[in-house]
Amino acid sequence: MIEVQGLHKEFKTPVVKDGSFAGLRALFSREYTVKQAVQNISFRIEPGEFVGYIGPNGAGKSTTIKMLAGILHPSSGNVRVNGMDPHQQRRQVVRRLGVVFGQRSQLWWDLPVKDSYDILAKMYRVDDKDKHERLEEFAAILDLKEFWDTPVRKLSLGQRMRADLGAAMLHNPDILFLDEPTIGLDVNAKRNIRSFLKLLNKDFGKTILLTTHDMDDIEQLCSRVMVINHGQLTYDGTVKSLRENIGLPTIIKVSYLENIKSSNVAKFHHEAVKVIDHTERTITVEANRNRIGTMQILAQLGEWGELADVEMQEPDFEDVIHKVY
Protein backbone atom coordinates (compact mmCIF):
# COMPACT_ATOMS: atom_id res chain seq x y z
CA MET A 1 0.00 0.00 0.00
CA ILE A 2 1.16 3.55 -0.72
CA GLU A 3 0.23 6.40 1.63
CA VAL A 4 1.13 10.02 1.07
CA GLN A 5 0.22 12.74 3.58
CA GLY A 6 0.80 16.47 3.04
CA LEU A 7 3.75 15.84 0.73
CA HIS A 8 5.75 18.90 -0.19
CA LYS A 9 8.93 19.44 -2.18
CA GLU A 10 10.66 22.69 -2.94
CA PHE A 11 13.80 23.19 -4.97
CA LYS A 12 16.15 26.06 -4.21
CA THR A 13 18.25 27.26 -7.10
CA PRO A 14 20.99 29.90 -6.67
CA VAL A 15 20.30 33.09 -8.64
CA VAL A 16 22.75 33.57 -11.51
CA LYS A 17 23.54 37.24 -12.18
CA ASP A 18 25.22 38.77 -15.23
CA GLY A 19 28.94 39.48 -15.29
CA SER A 20 32.20 37.56 -15.24
CA PHE A 21 32.37 34.27 -13.31
CA ALA A 22 28.57 34.49 -12.91
CA GLY A 23 28.18 30.71 -12.63
CA LEU A 24 30.92 30.45 -10.03
CA ARG A 25 29.58 33.38 -8.01
CA ALA A 26 26.10 31.81 -8.06
CA LEU A 27 27.54 28.81 -6.17
CA PHE A 28 28.41 31.03 -3.22
CA SER A 29 25.39 33.32 -3.53
CA ARG A 30 22.86 33.61 -0.74
CA GLU A 31 20.11 34.49 -3.16
CA TYR A 32 17.82 31.69 -4.27
CA THR A 33 14.73 31.20 -6.34
CA VAL A 34 12.42 28.70 -4.74
CA LYS A 35 10.31 26.36 -6.84
CA GLN A 36 7.37 24.66 -5.14
CA ALA A 37 7.43 21.49 -7.23
CA VAL A 38 4.95 19.47 -5.13
CA GLN A 39 2.56 21.14 -2.69
CA ASN A 40 0.62 19.46 0.08
CA ILE A 41 -0.32 16.31 -1.78
CA SER A 42 -2.19 13.48 -0.05
CA PHE A 43 -3.44 10.19 -1.48
CA ARG A 44 -3.59 6.49 -0.79
CA ILE A 45 -3.18 3.67 -3.26
CA GLU A 46 -4.49 0.22 -2.30
CA PRO A 47 -2.81 -3.05 -3.33
CA GLY A 48 -3.75 -4.10 -6.86
CA GLU A 49 -4.79 -0.63 -8.06
CA PHE A 50 -3.63 0.70 -11.43
CA VAL A 51 -3.44 4.48 -11.08
CA GLY A 52 -2.58 7.03 -13.75
CA TYR A 53 -0.72 10.15 -12.62
CA ILE A 54 -1.02 12.90 -15.18
CA GLY A 55 -0.36 16.60 -15.53
CA PRO A 56 1.25 19.08 -17.91
CA ASN A 57 5.04 19.41 -18.28
CA GLY A 58 6.68 20.57 -15.07
CA ALA A 59 3.58 19.80 -12.95
CA GLY A 60 5.48 17.71 -10.39
CA LYS A 61 4.89 14.10 -11.49
CA SER A 62 8.49 12.89 -11.63
CA THR A 63 9.29 14.72 -8.40
CA THR A 64 6.45 12.84 -6.67
CA ILE A 65 7.59 9.48 -8.07
CA LYS A 66 11.17 10.17 -6.97
CA MET A 67 9.97 10.89 -3.43
CA LEU A 68 7.88 7.70 -3.43
CA ALA A 69 10.89 5.71 -4.60
CA GLY A 70 13.17 7.29 -1.99
CA ILE A 71 15.39 8.99 -4.59
CA LEU A 72 14.40 12.46 -3.34
CA HIS A 73 13.75 13.53 0.23
CA PRO A 74 10.47 15.45 0.79
CA SER A 75 10.74 19.02 2.15
CA SER A 76 7.83 18.07 4.41
CA GLY A 77 5.05 15.51 4.65
CA ASN A 78 4.95 11.76 4.92
CA VAL A 79 5.37 8.92 2.48
CA ARG A 80 4.84 5.27 3.35
CA VAL A 81 5.36 2.43 0.92
CA ASN A 82 4.23 -0.88 2.40
CA GLY A 83 4.36 0.87 5.77
CA MET A 84 7.99 1.99 5.34
CA ASP A 85 9.67 5.32 4.77
CA PRO A 86 11.25 5.02 1.30
CA HIS A 87 14.02 7.48 2.11
CA GLN A 88 15.08 6.13 5.50
CA GLN A 89 14.35 2.46 4.82
CA ARG A 90 15.43 2.58 1.21
CA ARG A 91 16.92 -0.92 1.10
CA GLN A 92 13.84 -2.67 2.41
CA VAL A 93 11.54 -0.55 0.25
CA VAL A 94 13.39 -1.11 -3.04
CA ARG A 95 13.16 -4.87 -2.57
CA ARG A 96 9.39 -4.58 -2.95
CA LEU A 97 9.51 -1.87 -5.59
CA GLY A 98 10.18 -1.77 -9.34
CA VAL A 99 10.87 1.60 -10.98
CA VAL A 100 11.10 2.39 -14.67
CA PHE A 101 12.00 5.81 -16.02
CA GLY A 102 11.13 5.91 -19.71
CA GLN A 103 13.69 8.65 -20.35
CA ARG A 104 16.57 6.82 -18.68
CA SER A 105 17.55 3.17 -18.64
CA GLN A 106 18.59 1.42 -15.45
CA LEU A 107 20.57 -1.07 -17.55
CA TRP A 108 24.28 -0.84 -18.26
CA TRP A 109 24.70 0.86 -21.61
CA ASP A 110 27.64 -1.14 -22.96
CA LEU A 111 26.71 -4.54 -21.56
CA PRO A 112 24.54 -7.17 -23.23
CA VAL A 113 21.03 -7.29 -21.76
CA LYS A 114 21.68 -10.65 -20.10
CA ASP A 115 24.73 -9.27 -18.23
CA SER A 116 22.67 -6.38 -16.87
CA TYR A 117 20.11 -8.89 -15.65
CA ASP A 118 22.83 -10.95 -13.97
CA ILE A 119 24.12 -7.87 -12.13
CA LEU A 120 20.62 -6.81 -11.06
CA ALA A 121 19.84 -10.34 -9.86
CA LYS A 122 22.98 -10.20 -7.67
CA MET A 123 22.16 -6.71 -6.40
CA TYR A 124 18.63 -7.75 -5.41
CA ARG A 125 19.83 -11.16 -4.15
CA VAL A 126 17.52 -13.06 -6.47
CA ASP A 127 18.57 -16.72 -6.37
CA ASP A 128 19.31 -18.57 -9.60
CA LYS A 129 16.14 -20.66 -9.52
CA ASP A 130 13.86 -17.61 -9.10
CA LYS A 131 15.80 -15.66 -11.69
CA HIS A 132 15.47 -18.51 -14.16
CA GLU A 133 11.76 -18.91 -13.53
CA ARG A 134 11.01 -15.20 -13.87
CA LEU A 135 13.09 -14.90 -16.97
CA GLU A 136 11.26 -17.81 -18.56
CA GLU A 137 7.98 -16.13 -17.66
CA PHE A 138 8.69 -12.52 -18.62
CA ALA A 139 11.27 -13.06 -21.35
CA ALA A 140 8.67 -14.97 -23.34
CA ILE A 141 6.00 -12.29 -22.93
CA LEU A 142 8.38 -9.41 -23.61
CA ASP A 143 10.28 -11.31 -26.29
CA LEU A 144 13.58 -10.55 -24.59
CA LYS A 145 15.50 -13.45 -26.18
CA GLU A 146 15.42 -11.57 -29.49
CA PHE A 147 18.08 -9.15 -28.14
CA TRP A 148 19.43 -11.08 -25.19
CA ASP A 149 23.08 -10.77 -26.23
CA THR A 150 22.88 -7.23 -27.63
CA PRO A 151 24.45 -4.31 -25.75
CA VAL A 152 21.77 -1.97 -24.43
CA ARG A 153 23.06 0.98 -26.46
CA LYS A 154 22.25 -0.91 -29.67
CA LEU A 155 18.62 -1.62 -28.77
CA SER A 156 15.72 0.20 -30.39
CA LEU A 157 13.67 2.35 -28.02
CA GLY A 158 10.89 -0.27 -27.91
CA GLN A 159 13.35 -3.09 -27.17
CA ARG A 160 15.05 -1.00 -24.50
CA MET A 161 11.76 -0.33 -22.78
CA ARG A 162 10.89 -4.04 -22.81
CA ALA A 163 14.32 -4.84 -21.39
CA ASP A 164 13.85 -2.21 -18.66
CA LEU A 165 10.41 -3.52 -17.73
CA GLY A 166 11.70 -7.09 -17.52
CA ALA A 167 14.60 -5.88 -15.37
CA ALA A 168 12.22 -4.05 -13.03
CA MET A 169 10.31 -7.33 -12.53
CA LEU A 170 13.37 -9.49 -11.88
CA HIS A 171 13.10 -9.25 -8.09
CA ASN A 172 9.32 -9.72 -8.27
CA PRO A 173 8.27 -6.42 -6.65
CA ASP A 174 4.61 -5.93 -5.74
CA ILE A 175 4.61 -2.21 -6.55
CA LEU A 176 5.71 -0.60 -9.82
CA PHE A 177 6.36 3.09 -10.45
CA LEU A 178 6.47 3.77 -14.16
CA ASP A 179 7.48 7.21 -15.38
CA GLU A 180 6.50 7.56 -19.05
CA PRO A 181 7.15 3.96 -20.12
CA THR A 182 5.59 4.49 -23.57
CA ILE A 183 7.37 7.75 -24.43
CA GLY A 184 8.53 7.89 -28.05
CA LEU A 185 7.25 4.40 -28.92
CA ASP A 186 5.39 3.48 -32.10
CA VAL A 187 1.85 2.11 -32.05
CA ASN A 188 2.92 -1.56 -31.97
CA ALA A 189 5.52 -1.09 -29.27
CA LYS A 190 2.99 0.84 -27.16
CA ARG A 191 0.48 -1.97 -27.58
CA ASN A 192 3.04 -4.57 -26.41
CA ILE A 193 4.00 -2.55 -23.35
CA ARG A 194 0.35 -1.92 -22.49
CA SER A 195 -0.59 -5.60 -22.68
CA PHE A 196 2.36 -6.47 -20.46
CA LEU A 197 1.31 -3.87 -17.89
CA LYS A 198 -2.29 -5.09 -18.04
CA LEU A 199 -1.11 -8.62 -17.39
CA LEU A 200 1.09 -7.54 -14.46
CA ASN A 201 -1.85 -5.77 -12.86
CA LYS A 202 -4.69 -8.21 -13.63
CA ASP A 203 -2.99 -11.61 -13.47
CA PHE A 204 -0.10 -10.91 -11.11
CA GLY A 205 -1.92 -8.39 -8.88
CA LYS A 206 0.84 -5.76 -9.08
CA THR A 207 0.05 -2.26 -7.84
CA ILE A 208 1.01 0.24 -10.55
CA LEU A 209 1.43 4.01 -10.54
CA LEU A 210 1.94 5.27 -14.07
CA THR A 211 2.83 8.73 -15.33
CA THR A 212 2.28 9.41 -18.99
CA HIS A 213 1.36 12.08 -21.50
CA ASP A 214 -0.42 9.50 -23.63
CA MET A 215 -4.11 9.59 -22.78
CA ASP A 216 -4.66 6.22 -24.50
CA ASP A 217 -2.40 4.69 -21.81
CA ILE A 218 -4.72 6.10 -19.17
CA GLU A 219 -7.96 5.10 -20.89
CA GLN A 220 -6.79 1.58 -21.66
CA LEU A 221 -5.03 0.78 -18.42
CA CYS A 222 -6.09 2.81 -15.43
CA SER A 223 -9.20 2.55 -13.33
CA ARG A 224 -8.25 5.66 -11.40
CA VAL A 225 -6.51 8.84 -12.40
CA MET A 226 -4.85 11.58 -10.36
CA VAL A 227 -4.20 14.95 -11.95
CA ILE A 228 -1.43 17.23 -10.73
CA ASN A 229 -1.10 20.82 -11.88
CA HIS A 230 1.43 23.39 -10.59
CA GLY A 231 2.38 20.91 -7.87
CA GLN A 232 -1.17 20.47 -6.56
CA LEU A 233 -3.50 17.53 -6.84
CA THR A 234 -6.52 18.83 -8.74
CA TYR A 235 -8.41 15.58 -9.38
CA ASP A 236 -8.43 12.09 -7.92
CA GLY A 237 -11.14 9.72 -9.12
CA THR A 238 -12.21 7.35 -11.86
CA VAL A 239 -11.51 8.02 -15.52
CA LYS A 240 -15.26 7.67 -16.14
CA SER A 241 -16.31 10.36 -13.68
CA LEU A 242 -13.55 12.69 -14.88
CA ARG A 243 -14.99 12.42 -18.36
CA GLU A 244 -18.55 12.95 -17.11
CA ASN A 245 -17.83 15.78 -14.69
CA ILE A 246 -15.88 17.90 -17.09
CA GLY A 247 -19.11 18.57 -19.03
CA LEU A 248 -17.91 18.19 -22.61
CA PRO A 249 -20.78 17.24 -24.89
CA THR A 250 -21.59 13.73 -26.03
CA ILE A 251 -22.63 13.49 -29.66
CA ILE A 252 -25.72 11.35 -30.25
CA LYS A 253 -26.87 10.47 -33.75
CA VAL A 254 -30.28 8.88 -34.10
CA SER A 255 -31.68 7.26 -37.28
CA TYR A 256 -35.43 6.79 -37.78
CA LEU A 257 -37.35 4.12 -39.70
CA GLU A 258 -39.34 6.81 -41.50
CA ASN A 259 -38.95 10.49 -42.38
CA ILE A 260 -39.30 12.89 -39.46
CA LYS A 261 -41.13 16.20 -39.53
CA SER A 262 -38.65 19.06 -39.78
CA SER A 263 -41.13 21.28 -37.93
CA ASN A 264 -40.52 19.12 -34.83
CA VAL A 265 -36.80 19.67 -35.14
CA ALA A 266 -37.23 23.41 -35.68
CA LYS A 267 -39.43 23.74 -32.57
CA PHE A 268 -37.15 21.67 -30.38
CA HIS A 269 -35.48 23.52 -27.54
CA HIS A 270 -33.63 22.12 -24.53
CA GLU A 271 -30.88 23.91 -22.60
CA ALA A 272 -28.70 20.78 -22.37
CA VAL A 273 -29.32 19.38 -25.87
CA LYS A 274 -28.48 21.13 -29.13
CA VAL A 275 -29.34 19.88 -32.60
CA ILE A 276 -26.20 20.11 -34.71
CA ASP A 277 -27.34 18.30 -37.84
CA HIS A 278 -30.39 16.62 -39.35
CA THR A 279 -31.53 14.93 -42.54
CA GLU A 280 -34.93 13.43 -43.43
CA ARG A 281 -34.28 10.34 -41.34
CA THR A 282 -31.46 11.27 -38.97
CA ILE A 283 -30.85 13.77 -36.26
CA THR A 284 -27.56 14.54 -34.53
CA VAL A 285 -27.46 16.30 -31.18
CA GLU A 286 -24.83 17.51 -28.77
CA ALA A 287 -25.84 16.74 -25.19
CA ASN A 288 -24.40 17.78 -21.87
CA ARG A 289 -24.84 14.56 -19.93
CA ASN A 290 -24.12 16.29 -16.66
CA ARG A 291 -27.53 17.87 -17.01
CA ILE A 292 -29.57 15.29 -18.88
CA GLY A 293 -29.43 11.49 -18.92
CA THR A 294 -29.13 9.47 -22.12
CA MET A 295 -32.50 7.78 -21.61
CA GLN A 296 -34.22 11.16 -21.26
CA ILE A 297 -32.64 12.33 -24.52
CA LEU A 298 -33.67 9.16 -26.33
CA ALA A 299 -37.20 9.40 -24.93
CA GLN A 300 -37.46 12.93 -26.31
CA LEU A 301 -36.08 12.01 -29.73
CA GLY A 302 -38.22 8.86 -29.80
CA GLU A 303 -41.36 11.01 -29.81
CA TRP A 304 -40.64 12.06 -33.39
CA GLY A 305 -40.67 8.57 -34.90
CA GLU A 306 -39.61 4.98 -34.44
CA LEU A 307 -35.87 4.72 -33.82
CA ALA A 308 -33.83 2.51 -36.16
CA ASP A 309 -30.35 3.09 -34.74
CA VAL A 310 -28.49 5.13 -32.12
CA GLU A 311 -24.78 6.06 -32.28
CA MET A 312 -23.03 7.73 -29.35
CA GLN A 313 -19.69 9.43 -29.46
CA GLU A 314 -18.17 10.19 -26.05
CA PRO A 315 -15.98 13.31 -25.75
CA ASP A 316 -12.41 12.64 -26.76
CA PHE A 317 -10.30 12.00 -23.66
CA GLU A 318 -7.53 14.29 -24.94
CA ASP A 319 -10.11 17.13 -25.03
CA VAL A 320 -11.27 16.28 -21.51
CA ILE A 321 -7.69 16.48 -20.24
CA HIS A 322 -7.05 19.68 -22.14
CA LYS A 323 -9.92 21.20 -20.15
CA VAL A 324 -8.57 19.89 -16.85
CA TYR A 325 -5.10 21.33 -17.46
Ligand X SMILES: Nc1ncnc2c1ncn2[C@@H]1O[C@H](COP(=O)(O)OP(=O)(O)OP(=O)(O)O)[C@@H](O)[C@H]1O
Cβ(212)–Cβ(41) below 8 Å:
no
User: Is residue 13 a contact residue for ligand X (CB under 6 A)?
Assistant: yes
Alpha helices (H) along the chain: 22-28, 61-68, 90-95, 113-123, 128-142, 157-169, 187-202, 215-221, 239-245, 262-267, 294-302, 317-324
Q: What is the DSSP string of 129-161?
A: HHHHHHHHHHHHHHTGGGGTTSBGGGS-HHHHH
Element (H, E) at 228: strand 224-229
Is residue 11 involved in binding ligand X (CB under 6 A)? yes
* Shortest Å distance, C-beta 230 to ligand X: 9
CB of 325 to ligand X, least distance (A): 11
Find the shortest distance in angstroms from Cβ 187 to ligand X.
21
Q: Does 235 interact with ligand X (rule: CB under 6 A)?
A: no
Kind of pairing, strands 207-211 and 175-179? parallel
Q: How far is the CB of 95 from ligand X (least distance, A)?
A: 25
Q: Is 206 helix (H, G, I), strand (E, B) or coil?
A: coil
Q: How deeply is 228 buried, as exposed, middle or buried, from its count of CB atoms within 10 A (0-12, 13-18, 19+)?
A: buried
Determine, following the binding rule CB under 6 A, whether residue 225 of this chain makes contact with ligand X.
Answer: no
| Under rule CB under 6 A, residue 59 binds ligand X | yes
* Residue 58 found at the interface with ligand X (CB under 6 A): yes
Query: In the complex, what is the shortest distance from the CB of residue 77 to ligand X, in angstroms, rounded to a whole number?
Result: 15
Applying CB under 6 A, which part among 56-64, 145-153, 202-210, 218-226 lies near ligand X? 56-64
Q: Does 188 bind ligand X (CB under 6 A)?
A: no
Q: In whole angstroms, how close is the CB of 56 to ligand X at the nearest point?
A: 7
Q: State the Cα torsion 27-31-33-37 to the nearest 10°.
A: 70
Q: How many CA atoms lie within 13 Å of 4's alpha carbon, on the beta-carbon side?
A: 21
Binding mask 60-99 for ligand X (x = CB under 6 A): xxxx------------------------------------
Selected binder of ligand X within 25, 35, 253, 270 (CB under 6 A): 35
Q: Which stretch binds ligand X (CB under 6 A): 15-23, 57-65, 93-101, 280-288?
A: 57-65
Contact residues toward ligand X (CB under 6 A) are 11, 13, 35, 37, 55, 57-63
